[in-house]
């Protein structure tokens, strides 16, 4: 199974073109605030040559949180939308969640500790590909400061703890710009697939990989 991973397109969809693959995964921050922006995203998604498409929301996806029912209806027929839920494709089990630790007044955010842990506790054992908008603590999660380079790890410790239990083959995320990379740690391939740079412009390309056996 060939997978295309990308995240954090921040409305710059038309700057992104993907190659043929079995599954395209978008890790959130479509930046859909209104029905028209959702339609624009769906039109772009329809042009991508993937057999299956999986989408989760991110902290900038106001429409998906505030008008969840309408947003889900608009996505039907264009992709598989996951929100603390899963899907199995050709024997591979995917699980997706938009939740990230609280920061500013954005969307799909929870306080660290019990409030966010309850979302990670939903992730079932046997998950092959975990998709979350944000990273686990200490893994491709360094923030960038214009006057000081990279510093601070801002990922979620409770998410990391859950990953250590369920041991997914792949963890795909974004949210933290400027850390786009792949990193193998023990049983899990971690992929920060954020395409946006420090100023939300597209600086990276989608990441392609073959599903580990």
Q: What is the pTM of this model?
A: 0.95
With beta carbons less than 8 A apart as the criterion, state whether 182 and 206 touch.
Answer: no
Rounded Cα distance, 99 and 204, in Å: 23
pLDDT tens digits, one per residue of 151-200: 678 899 999 999 999 999 999 999 998 899 999 999 999 999 999 987 77
Report CA 197 to chain centroid distance, whole Å. 16
Domain borders along the chain are 2-210
First to last CA, the chain: 9
Q: Under a CB-based contact definition with an 8 Å cutoff, are residues 128 and 170 in contact?
A: yes
Is the distance from CB of 128 to CB of 93 less than 8 angstroms? yes
Q: Greatest CA span in the chain, whole angstroms?
A: 47
Instruction: Return the closest-CA partner of residue 210 out of 54, 6, 3, 49.
Output: 3
Answer CATH for 2-210 from 3.40.50.1100, 3.30.230.10, 3.20.20.70, 3.60.21.10: 3.60.21.10
Q: Report residue 150's pLDDT band, with 50, 70 and 90 as the boundaries.
A: low
Kindly report, residue by residue over 37-90, the tens digit of the pLDDT. Answer: 899 999 999 999 999 999 999 988 999 999 999 999 999 999 999 999 999 999
Rounded CA separation 132/96 (Å): 6
The H-assigned helical ranges of the chain are 35-46, 62-66, 68-75, 114-120, 157-166
In whole angstroms, what is the distance from residue 186 CA to residue 183 CA? 10
CA atoms of 170 and 191, how far apart (whole Å): 8
CA-closest candidate to residue 59, choices 173, 146, 172: 173
Does residue 146 register a pLDDT over 70? no
């Amino acid at each position: 199974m060939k997978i295309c991973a990308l995240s954090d397109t921040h409305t710059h969809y038309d700057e992104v073109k993907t190659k043929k693959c079995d599954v395209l995964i978008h890790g959130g921050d479509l930046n859909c605030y209104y029905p028209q922006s959702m339609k624009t995203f769906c039109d772009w998604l329809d042009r991508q040559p993937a057999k299956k498409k999986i989408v989760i929301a991110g902290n900038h996806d106001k429409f998906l949180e505030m008008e969840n029912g309408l947003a889900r209806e608009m996505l039907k027929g264009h992709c598989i939308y996951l929100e603390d839920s899963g899907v199995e494709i050709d024997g591979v089990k995917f699980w997706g969640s938009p939740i990230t630790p609280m920061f500013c007044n954005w969307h799909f955010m929870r306080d660290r500790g019990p409030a966010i842990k309850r979302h990670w506790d939903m992730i079932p054992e046997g998950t092959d590909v975990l998709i979350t908008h944000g990273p686990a603590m200490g893994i491709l999660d360094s923030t960038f400061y214009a006057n000081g380079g990279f510093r601070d790890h801002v990922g979620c410790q409770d998410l990391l703890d859950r990953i250590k239990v369920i041991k997914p083959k792949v963890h795909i995320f974004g949210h933290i710009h400027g850390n786009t990379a792949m990193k193998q740690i023990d049983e899990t391939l971690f992929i920060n697939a954020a395409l946006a740079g420090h100023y939300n412009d597209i600086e990276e390309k989608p990441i392609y990989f073959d599903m580990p056996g």
